[in-house]
Amino acid sequence: MTVNQPMESRITRGVCRCLLAMALLVATMRPALADEPIFPQAELLTPAAEEAAARGVAYLVEHQLDDGRFNVTRSGGNVAVCGLAGMALLASGSTPGRGPHGEAVDRCVDYLLANTDERGIILAPAATTGQTMYEHGFAALFLCECYGMAERPELRDRLADAVRVIVNAQNEEGGWRYWPEPRSADVSVTVCQVMTLRAARNAGIAVPRDTMDRALAYVRKCQNDDGGFRYMLGEGDAASALPRSAAGVVALYNAGVYQGDEIDRGLDYVAAFRPGSKGADNVPYYFYAHYYAVQAMWHAGGERWREWYPAVRDELVDRQLADGSWRDGIGSEYATAMACIVLLTPNNYLPILQR
């Protein structure tokens, strides 16, 4: 570099070098499979899938209310649905205040912060689900993803409080259930908290190592001999099923387990339910299951990812309704947010999914 180069050129080159160094650092943070590309295979996101996702995102923006919530009548402004819809907007390329839907992302942040109480629990006063930790976990996950993108100084303190709620609600087994206190535990709610804690740690929010270690131990105990995961320890639902098993694999990845027998057996179990295969018929909690399954296969990379994503992509495109939405018993906004997150995974825009 010569001294007479324009200042802008020198700054640009310096930024590029920093970004490249960061990319290389991230690439070394976990083992890579031999056939796994460092960057996503964007060609898997076909024009039909891109159009379906764009229509889904447009549906979400159209159905967002002025205060940022989504009109989910069953659950009274469910903060989890707001968080998931916000995640779908982030996955489409918008960030707080930036991009085609930056204002909608901001409204999601506003709604969640407005519904955070003095203890740090994120929950709408009118919520009727009785599943506080689900709502809190998904809402906090979205806010963690926004932290660093948004010029909102209050986010750090709010997130520190939200993380403290999760830490204090961990039970003696190492897991979580519906209430913000250490009662019983199930693998589904536990995975939700593990993802949020990992996102918080990625964002620079302090998370006690012991909390993650105990959560990992709980998830491991929930894995059955067939590679799938049971719902609860003890005499609870001991059978394996796709939704909880895909979630269990994702929890292992987010707790820092990237290779090994437990990962392989879990992925083998999930792979038996690939869309279009015989095992995929009548999957319960369809959108929840595929929200986690696509993450599991994304983390796995290689052939597992290349086989799974096109199958779920094409099935979701076929399932989309004329108005751009997807539907299930919880509501169209929930199902549409989940479907968009799945379809847009190859974009690699969500920090929690970046390799």
Number of domains in the chain: 1
How buried is residue 172: exposed, middle or buried, by Cβ count under 10 Å (0-12/13-18/19+)? exposed
CATH value at residue 43: 1.50.10.20
Flag whether pLDDT at 336 surpasses 90.
yes
How buried is residue 201: exposed, middle or buried, by Cβ count under 10 Å (0-12/13-18/19+)? middle
Flag whether pLDDT at 237 surpasses 50.
yes
Q: Is the dihedral of CA 281, 331, 85, 139 positive or negative?
A: negative
> How many angstroms separate the CA atoms of 108 and 124, rounded?
13
Mean pLDDT of the residues in the chain:
88
Q: State percent of the chain over pLDDT 70.
A: 85
Tell me whether residue 94 is in a domain.
Answer: yes
Flag whether pLDDT at 11 surpasses 90.
no
Tell me whether residue 125 is in a domain.
Answer: yes
Mean pLDDT of all residues in 170-193: 97
Q: What is the dihedral of CA 251, 92, 135, 326, to 10 degrees?
A: -100
Tell me whether residue 149 is in a domain.
Answer: yes
Q: Which residue has the higher pLDDT, 215 or 70?
A: 215
pLDDT in tens, 280-300: 778 899 999 999 999 999 999
234 band by pLDDT with thresholds 50, 70 and 90? confident
pLDDT in tens, 42-80: 679 999 999 999 999 999 999 999 999 997 655 567 999
Tell me whether residue 245 is in a domain.
Answer: no
- Which pLDDT belongs to residue 128? 65
Q: What is the DSSP string of 44-110?
A: GS-HHHHHHHHHHHHHHHHTB-TTS-B--TTTTS-HHHHHHHHHHHHHTT-BTTBSTTHHHHHHHHH
- Which pLDDT belongs to residue 24? 32
Flag whether pLDDT at 301 surpasses 70.
yes
What is the per-residue burial (b if ≥16 Cβ within 10 Å, else e) of 278-302? eebeebebbbbbbbbbbbbbbbbbe
27 band by pLDDT with thresholds 50, 70 and 90? very low
Tell me whether residue 206 is in a domain.
Answer: yes
> How many angstroms separate the CA atoms of 139 and 158, rounded?
12
Tell me whether residue 1 is in a domain.
Answer: no
Tell me whether residue 343 is in a domain.
Answer: yes
Flag whether pLDDT at 199 surpasses 80.
yes
- Residue 98 belongs to domain spanning: 35-216+285-353
Q: What 8-state DSSP symbol labels residue 186? A: B
Tell me whether residue 260 is in a domain.
Answer: no
Residue 163 Cα distances to 121, 158, 206, angstroms: 9, 9, 8
pTM for the model: 0.88
Flag whether pLDDT at 129 surpasses 90.
no
Mean pLDDT of all residues in 266-293: 92
